[in-house]
Structure 1
């Protein structure tokens, strides 16, 4: 199975994705999504939206904290003005849109989809 990370920017000045327009990885590989924070002093969270129009689920908050119930393959980190979501060993159920957002509600979105 091959996965493609399709990035769709929905951001303002405070949060921008650092990837090319698309990335790909084999099932089980590690994916990293970078988000440039407009203010390095602000915390960032990452959200997962599996169904368009549904409420996103928080997968990372305070840059690197993971809520209970979120698989350990999801991790977050931050260095300076860059926040990173890492998915270690991508699985089928990880197909979703991933948003990064700061305290000012700015966000960027990255969509993980399966590619035939």
Structure 2
């Protein structure tokens, strides 16, 4: 029997979130759906739309997972690069204004909040943690 888990997704306004506080990001908003219900083993894709085109990877999208009571954890950086320790069932893709995070074979431990945010290629990934 499959367990049903909910992934709660939030609309993210860039200049308010996470640890890229060194930058004053203005004018770009990323929008995500609020909730998805997913069965264990299912492949799920979470979309993220930007209000402006993100050209090349001078500015890219990063994906974070947050579980209740825990700090956000970096999963994907530079749109599609897997952070060390991120399971291979996670992948990122996209360009322009449309980006996505895919979980191939959703597990109950994948339940949580997922955030997309604009990031910069000149940031070392250790600064994103």
TM-score by length of 1: 0.76
Task: Tell me which protein shows more helix as a share of its residues.
Answer: 2
- 1:4 is paired with a residue whose SS is strand
- 2:41 is paired with a residue whose SS is coil
* Alignment partner of 1:44 is 2:61: yes
User: What RMSD over aligned residues (CA atoms) do the two structures have, in Å?
Assistant: 1.9
TM-score by length of 2: 0.69
- Structure scoring higher RCO (CA < 8 A, sep ≥ 6) equals 1
Gaps of 5+ in 2: 15-27, 121-129
Gaps of 5+ in 1: 105-116
Q: Give the 4+ runs in structure 1 shifted more than 3 A.
A: none
Q: Flag the structure with larger Rg.
A: 2
Structure 2 match to 1:56: 72
Distance in 2 of aligned mates of 1:73 and 1:58:
15
Distance in 2 of aligned mates of 1:5 and 1:51:
12
